[in-house]
């Protein structure tokens, strides 16, 4: 298939009847969820509810964990990313990912940001342009522009995480998955990442996994609440957090889980 494929219902990413199971248990149970353009959806839920697994199915990272089987489909602009003939490498270049703790590579700041671009053999001028752009979008540019050749390890944890965001943004993905990106950071660094997320949601689709209801309230447009592998409730952030309908959601946001 080639050419531009119109999304079926205007969503960029659409999960349809998705189940993930390991040998002895079901991790995700028949999930349906759509992600529209320029949105930030927070996936919340207690530990072990499957929220990390959910975002990992969105760019086929789940396949790196042996022993998990995936059923159902995830449509990216109308194409099922699990169909045969789909290259997971291309999927991950369109749907980027940021992890719980900063995962900078042992190279300079510039090379970290350029990592994805080097993989696709971009020209030097293009790499230079895209790295500047990505570092600006991730909110790190002003802090590193003086010396892009310093080791990425010399940055603070929060800066490293924003460098990881820049690395993901450099290949200009349409979707960015953030798996508890601030869980290893102090409040000041967390706040800067949240500001970055708020800016980015005006441009691309963000999916944020968090166990922090306050963070979901601060940055997201929409909240999806997951419990024991089931999608319990999804809706605009204010609705879910202020007027939850399901008792499980009430329990979670009033802090009676974890």
Partner 1 sequence: MATNEGPNERIDPADDLRRGETWGLRWRTGFDRWMGLLLPLLFAVAILPIADLVYFISAKAVPTLSWHVVTSYSDYQAHDTLGVPLMTTFLFMALATSIAVVLGLFGGIAAAEFLPERAAGWVRMSANLLAGMPSVIVGYFGYFAFVLYFGWGLSFIAGVFTLAFFMTPYVYRTADLAFSSIPRPIREAAYGSGAKPVQYILRVGAPIAFPQILTGVFLAMAIGVGETAPIILTTQPGLLVPSTVFQPAVFMTYLIWTGFSQPAGSVALTLAYQAAFFIIVVVLALNIVVRVVAGRFRKRLQGLYQ
Distance in Å, CB of 68 to partner 1, minimum:
14
Out of 3, 6, 66, 187, point to the residue binding partner 1 (CB under 8 A). 66
Q: Please, what is the minimum distance in Å from the beta carbon of residue 97 to partner 1? A: 4
Bridge-based pairing of strands 69-76 and 13-21 is antiparallel
Cβ(59)–Cβ(75) below 8 Å: no
Among 50, 116, 139, 181, binds partner 1 (CB under 8 A): 116
CA dist 118 and 14 (Å) reads: 30
- Please give the residues from 154 up to 183 whose contact with partner 1 meets the rule CB under 8 A: 154, 164, 167-168, 171
Beta sheet of 40-44, edge-to-edge order = 95-98, 175-179, 205-209, 40-44, 222-227, 230-236
Stretch of 37-45, 87-95, 219-227, 232-240 contacting partner 1, by CB under 8 A: 87-95
The least CB distance from residue 119 to partner 1, in Å, is 5
Beta-carbon contacts of 210 under 8 Å, excluding residues fewer than 6 positions away, are 42, 43, 44, 180, 182, 216
Least Cβ distance, residue 244 to partner 1 (angstroms): 32
Q: Closest Cα to residue 117, out of 100, 149, 93, 96?
A: 93
Q: By CB under 8 A, name the binding residues for partner 1.
A: 59, 61, 64, 66, 89-90, 92-93, 96-97, 99-107, 115-116, 118-120, 151, 153-154, 164, 167-168, 171
């Amino acid at each position: 298939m080639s050419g531009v494929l119109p999304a079926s219902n205007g969503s960029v990413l659409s999960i349809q009847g998705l189940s993930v199971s390991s040998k002895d248990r079901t991790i995700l149970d028949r999930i349906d969820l759509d992600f529209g353009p320029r949105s930030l959806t927070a996936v919340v839920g207690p530990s072990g509810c499957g929220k990390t697994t959910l975002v990992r199915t969105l760019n086929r990272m789940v396949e790196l964990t042996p022993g998990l089987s995936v059923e159902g489909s995830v449509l990216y602009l109308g194409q099922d990313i699990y169909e045969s003939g789909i290259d997971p490498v291309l999927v991950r270049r369109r749907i980027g990912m940021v992890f719980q703790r900063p995962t900078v590579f042992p190279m300079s700041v510039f090379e970290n940001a350029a990592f994805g671009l080097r993989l696709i053999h971009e020209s030097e001028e293009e790499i230079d342009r895209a790295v500047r752009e990505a570092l600006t979008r991730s909110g790190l540019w002003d802090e590193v522009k003086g010396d892009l050749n310093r080791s990425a390890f010399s940055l603070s944890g929060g800066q490293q995480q924003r460098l990881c965001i820049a690395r993901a943004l450099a290949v200009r993905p349409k979707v960015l998955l953030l798996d508890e990106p601030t869980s290893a950071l102090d409040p000041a660094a967390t706040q800067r990442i949240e500001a970055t997320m708020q800016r980015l949601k005006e441009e691309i689709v963000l999916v944020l996994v968090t166990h922090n209801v306050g963070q979901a309230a601060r940055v997201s447009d929409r909240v999806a609440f997951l419990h024991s592998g089931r999608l319990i409730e999804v809706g605009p952030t204010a609705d879910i957090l202020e007027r939850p309908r399901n008792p499980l959601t009430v329990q979670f946001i009033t802090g009676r889980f974890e």
